[in-house]
């Protein structure tokens, strides 16, 4: 099911159901570029992302897909995975993130058994298809559904509470994600200090656990943020360089091409 086009507050881009899905293989993890809710209504499997979250998923669980976070999920070989999904984007959903309701530390949590949760989702689908309904109305209704689905900010219950990463690393990753779109974000030395350690110790431990140095991780997050912005608007290289804290537009364009294999203009065209 395809949305009708964006409103000024956001849009529902796709929604539907998949039976017998194979999911996304771990060796082919992806960055989706927009938000999504995946509700498992049959079967079981697991979820993994580049932050190191690795948790089981069972029927009745919800996965929150973050636009910039590489992830994978699905059943084991020969397993069953039946899902309902809603894909969405827009500024109003960034408010949900800022409020802590979309919490990257807990991308999986238990909601309701399918016998109850499906009724809520199917009602939303049926009303979305009502003739004459605007995208603004649909986004508002989806927020009402999300208010029933999402745990309160700061909640720790459910499958997504499990993680193998130490608290200081979760804090560092959270700060890096929040600052990926800010030109005046804290230095890596300040980040290390916020995690209670000196920079060299922080750099070595971060690299061991994430597989890349913090500077490289931070750079990749800024480029991923550029991709998200280009998905919505034809920003110039200078505008993106200024927004994301690059020295100049040439440095930004060169870095973007090196990490993505495309120029920013080519990236914009791929979305439109």
- pLDDT tens string 147-159: 999 986 555 544 4
Domains of the chain and any CATH numbers = 11-161 (2.60.120.10), 167-271 (1.10.10.60)
Please report the pLDDT score of residue 157 as a whole number: 46
N- to C-terminal Cα separation, the chain? 19
Please report the pLDDT score of residue 186 as a whole number: 61
Average pLDDT of the segment spanning 80-87: 95
Asked whether residue 32 carries a pLDDT value surpassing 60, the answer given is yes
Asked whether residue 86 carries a pLDDT value surpassing 90, the answer given is yes
Mean pLDDT across the chain: 86
**Residue 225 pLDDT grade (very low, low, confident, very high; cuts 50, 70, 90):** confident
Asked whether residue 204 carries a pLDDT value surpassing 90, the answer given is yes
> d(Cα 215, Cα 213) in Å, to the nearest integer?
5
Please report the pLDDT score of residue 167 as a whole number: 81
Percent of the chain predicted with pLDDT > 90: 47
Secondary structure of the chain in the HEC alphabet? Answer: CECCCCCCCCEEEEEEEECCCCCECHHHCECCCCEEEEEEEEEEEEEEECCCCEEEEECCEEEEECCCCCEEEECCCCCCEEEEEEEEECHHHHHHHHCCCCCCCCCEEECCCHHHHHHHHHHHHHHHCCCCCCHHHHHHHHHHHHHHHCCCCCCCCCHHHCCCCCHHHHHHHHHHHHHHHCCCCCCHHHHHHHCCCCHHHHHHHHHHHHCCCHHHHHHHHHHHHHHHHHCCCCCCHHHHHHHHCCCCHHHHHHHHHHHHCCCHHHHHHHHC
**Residue 57 pLDDT grade (very low, low, confident, very high; cuts 50, 70, 90):** very high
């Amino acid at each position: 099911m395809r949305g009708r086009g964006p409103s000024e507050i956001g849009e529902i881009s796709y929604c539907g159901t998949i039976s017998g899905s194979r999911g996304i293989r771990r060796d082919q993890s992806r960055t989706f570029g927009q938000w999504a809710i995946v509700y498992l209504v049959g079967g079981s499997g697991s979820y993994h992302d580049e932050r190191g979250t690795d948790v089981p998923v069972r029927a009745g669980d919800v996965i929150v897909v973050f636009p910039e976070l590489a992830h994978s999920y699905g059943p084991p070989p020969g397993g069953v995975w039946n899902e309902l999904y809603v894909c969405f984007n827009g500024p109003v959903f960034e408010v949900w993130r800022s409020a802590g309701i979309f919490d990257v530390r807990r991308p999986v949590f238990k909601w309701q058994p399918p016998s109850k949760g499906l009724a809520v989702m199917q009602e939303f689908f049926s009303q979305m298809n009502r003739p004459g309904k605007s995208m603004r109305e649909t986004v508002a209704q989806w927020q009402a559904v999300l208010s029933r689905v999402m745990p309160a900010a700061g909640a720790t219950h459910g499958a997504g509470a499990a993680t193998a990463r130490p608290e200081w690393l979760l804090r560092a990753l959270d700060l890096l994600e929040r600052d990926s779109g800010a030109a005046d974000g804290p230095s890596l030395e300040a980040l290390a200090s916020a995690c209670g350690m000196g920079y060299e110790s922080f750099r070595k431990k971060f690299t061991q656990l994430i597989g890349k140095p913090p500077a490289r991780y931070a750079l990749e997050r800024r480029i991923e943020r550029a991709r998200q912005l280009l998905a919505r608007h034809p920003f110039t290289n200078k505008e993106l360089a200024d927004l994301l804290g690059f020295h100049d537009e040439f440095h930004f364009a060169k870095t973007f091409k090196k990490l993505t294999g495309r120029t920013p203009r080519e990236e914009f065209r791929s979305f439109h």
